[in-house]
Structure 1
């Protein structure tokens, strides 16, 4: 394992990452945060996502028993936004952007997280993700569907009830556009970037966190965040609808195992942002695209120490002290039950 400062290339984005393993010996260990790990009730009368409760916009959440999806009461994007040509031909340029924002409740129970749900219950979440990708992606002006979850107040989640979001965009977002370009460039050589990458990871077996018959969770070689993970299907698939029933069960299993390991790491409900990057819905086949999910957790060395992207990382490039190999070994060593 390298101990000297070095750079690693993020093959998915084309960005470089600075790795500085020797800095783990420095006195400052990160921002200290207050630990809040309260026990939540199964039902909270003040939670607008619990069944039967009124939401901030006046709508009432129905008495649902499985997953529940609705249009966000305060969306960042609106489908009725009028189309318009780009404005400005100099340094100031803007253009309209249509979209649809939805909220998905994973469970009617207020006290659960993905790691605390059964594989069967998570499978229903996976099926709902699949359905929404198909429904939203079939709209003629939607070019991309992002499925994601912000877990924990540290990651900006406004409600602890288990839920995620789905945003459909008229145009490709920045991260997806960069990943698309890198995968297209690599595919010009006749191969899939993430298929080849996964084969290397499985052979090295240094950064694998957990795996099953259909999916692998690993700390990517180019990880920015201390305990970042990448979830990949073993088969070459571009989107959730490509999976059969067994593969969807495998996905539910790997999601439960990854999130349970996170919660064991520092003994708290682990905060993260997680999102699925699937092929664009612009009508092109995008055979180069390989389905994957990113987990970006902010905790650094304990439940009270958080990593921030500041200074050099904002102005130059990402930098990390704990190597991806060390992070993977720690996550791999944790029990799942």
Structure 2
């Protein structure tokens, strides 16, 4: 490897890390905007979810145009619909958790258990071989989740299970995506997600009693959450396009302190010590799984 190649790879890695952190900031700001919108201003979570992702879809229209509708050609329409349906339900439960309200620090930490559900699903549904070490890491991650949930404490509320349910649904959506990408392009998978997510969210919002944001501030928060989500997803893709996922994973975990900071600034929430112990177990276990996938990939 030449010096020029090493320098080029280092620049790509640094750029990827920057975009990953930037995406984390965008997601954290989007999350706290939606939590304020639903918890403080009272907009119903199904309607808030629809408006947020509708704004994101409008913002992502150039991406849809660039991919082109030729990307809709598929022999697995049912699996596409299932994947988007799972993702939409995951989004609905996530926003419902924020509206409950589940403190943002607890919600985001529990959402980080999603890779462990992917590991279980890959073994049971896709028939992938999972080593004993990966099973051990998965168990360790769930122990971390239980420490954060603390169902044995008087402070436990059933609404805290909503982020866990969202993690299950998003993990299932990822499994569908992995199956689809065995035969179809990532562009096709992305296009179906962009086009179908808003109609499904609209149906769910109509079923729960469709609402418009009632104030100018509510509209600004919806627009901000949608635009921030679109920007965050775009920069996330830019990060993964520049360097290895295993290298980026530690930067992805910065989303926890970023969300903790936003929760503290906006709502004054200070997480207890069990968050950091549980999060350390979840992060350590997920990093192990990412490294294991990198070696076997």
The alignment's TM-score, normalised by the length of structure 2, stands at 0.25
> When you count strand as a share of all residues, which structure comes out higher?
1
Q: RCO greater where, 1 or 2, for CA within 8 Å and sep 6 or more? A: 2
The alignment's TM-score, normalised by the length of structure 1, stands at 0.22
